[in-house]
């Protein structure tokens, strides 16, 4: 397991603040031998561990079948429905949405291999990730991957009430690999997939999924 580069500055700042608060508490309030002092130091340690674990990147390897759609994020499937995608496709698609809690791994990965015909960042609000308007009103990115057969999948990274920064690494016309690094969303959010209507879906509502490992489904 490694730590994602997006967490370097936040982890260092959190470590510095924890050490400073610990010293101030020890000098001016309660020594560590005092039960209140011990509890305070324990609280600082737990908070620091939570920050560090948020940026963890577990080592995962998998092999993929032809036309398989790989899960782009860790979390829970909260939406599987037919809907109209209005930004790029402007037609009916199957939407699969994955909610990531602050305890999930927050790196995102490409679900298929191909090129990027469309990449766009949208500034916006920070509604809770399960809010019906979060996919259209929140800060988000829209990334489309087109495979060698001409099939296209749209991935939308959506910031949540706690997430305040979306990171994405691909640019229009880039070539990307399946399970290659797409980006990172800091501190809780959602990833939406918009798939062709004929896609065979393998996941179910409420299912816990893992990036790179869970099969979302298969393109026809």
Torsion angles phi and psi, residue 126, rounded to 5: -130, 55
Nearest CA to 116 out of 182, 55, 53 is that of 182
pLDDT of residue 171: 95
The end-to-end CA distance of the chain, in Å, is 35
Query: Mean of the pLDDT values across residues 10-25?
Result: 80
Query: Mean of the pLDDT values across residues 49-54?
Result: 76
Q: Are 158 and 183 in contact (CB under 8 A)?
A: no
User: Has residue 15 got a pLDDT over 90?
Assistant: no
Q: Are 209 and 75 in contact (CB under 8 A)?
A: yes
Query: Mean of the pLDDT values across residues 152-171?
Result: 83
Q: How would you class 61 by CB atoms within 10 Å of its CB: exposed for 0-12, middle for 13-18, buried for 19 or more? A: exposed
> Residue 5 has what DSSP assignment?
G
Torsion angles phi and psi, residue 83, rounded to 5: -150, 170
Residue linked to tokens 């309660």 = 30
pTM for this one?
Answer: 0.81
- 12 vs 210: which has the higher pLDDT: 210
Structure tokens at 98: 């994955």
Residues 182-192: tens digit of each pLDDT: 999 876 689 99
Residues 98-155: tens digit of each pLDDT: 999 888 888 999 999 999 999 999 986 655 555 555 566 678 899 999 999 999 999 9
**DSSP string over 166-212:** EEE---TT-EE-TT-EEEEESSSEEEEEEE-TTPEE---TT-EE-TT
Structure tokens at 23: 């010293």
User: Has residue 86 got a pLDDT over 90?
Assistant: yes
pLDDT of residue 9: 79
Q: What are 215's strand-pairing partners?
A: 70
User: Has residue 163 got a pLDDT over 80?
Assistant: no
> Residue 6 has what DSSP assignment?
G
Helix (H) or strand (E) holding 77: strand 75-85
Cα distances (Å, whole numbers) of residue 23 to 17, 44, 50, 84, 170: 10, 11, 20, 55, 43
Catalytically annotated residues: 189
pLDDT of residue 53: 72
């Amino acid at each position: 397991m490694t730590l994602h580069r997006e967490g370097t500055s936040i982890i260092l700042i959190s470590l510095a603040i924890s050490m400073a608060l610990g010293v101030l508490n020890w000098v001016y309030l309660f020594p560590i031998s005092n039960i209140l002092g011990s509890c305070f130091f324990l609280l600082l340690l737990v908070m620091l561990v939570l920050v560090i674990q948020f940026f963890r990147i577990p080592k995962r390897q998998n092999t993929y079948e032809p036309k398989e759609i790989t899960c782009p994020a860790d979390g829970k499937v909260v939406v599987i429905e037919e809907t109209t995608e209005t930004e790029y496709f402007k037609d009916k698609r199957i939407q699969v949405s994955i909610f990531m809690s602050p305890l999930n791994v927050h790196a995102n990965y490409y679900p298929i291999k191909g090129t990027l015909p469309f990449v766009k960042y949208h500034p916006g609000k920070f509604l809770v990730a399960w809010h019906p308007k979060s996919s259209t009103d929140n800060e988000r990115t829209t990334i489309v991957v087109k495979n060698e057969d001409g099939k296209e999948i749209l991935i939308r990274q959506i910031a949540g009430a706690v997430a305040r920064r979306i990171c994405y690494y691909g640019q229009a016309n880039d070539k990307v690999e399946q399970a290659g690094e797409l980006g990172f969303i800091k501190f809780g959010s959602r990833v939406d997939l918009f798939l062709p209507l004929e896609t065979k879906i393998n996941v179910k509502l409420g299912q816990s999924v893992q990036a790179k490992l869970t099969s979302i489904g298969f393109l026809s």
